[in-house]
Amino acid sequence: MSKDLITPIMRIQIELAIANAKDDFHALRSLEIEAKHLALSGSEIDAAKRGGSFDLLVDIAVKFALAFHAGDSEASAVAKRQLIAFGVPEIASELPAFIEKLELSLAR
């Protein structure tokens, strides 16, 4: 796919949610700094760490990422259907590879 559908804002919110789920405080610290550089407010950062977003599309993507990360196939299937219904099936297709790559980088 030529265009990145996972935007920098979506990416950082997913990374914040997963780092928080893993209790990776070192990663959280650097991700929060990056999120502020991307102009996310403290409330948006807190929402991401809790597994959500004020943006509906990002909220669904974050929920999908957390469910996929946790191995919750039922919740990830629900989120995938929501992304498809929202009109962005390409994001639903790209997220699993993105999350797997992210998990590998966080494991280092």
- pLDDT tens digit sequence for 35-69: 999 999 999 999 999 999 999 999 999 999 999 99
Answer whether residue 87 shows pLDDT above 60: yes
CA 11 to chain centroid, in Å, comes to: 6
- Is residue 12 within a helix (H) or strand (E), and if so which, with residue range? helix 8-21
Answer whether residue 101 shows pLDDT above 50: yes
pTM: 0.91
| Residue type present at position 26 | H
What residue ranges do the domains of the chain occupy?
8-106
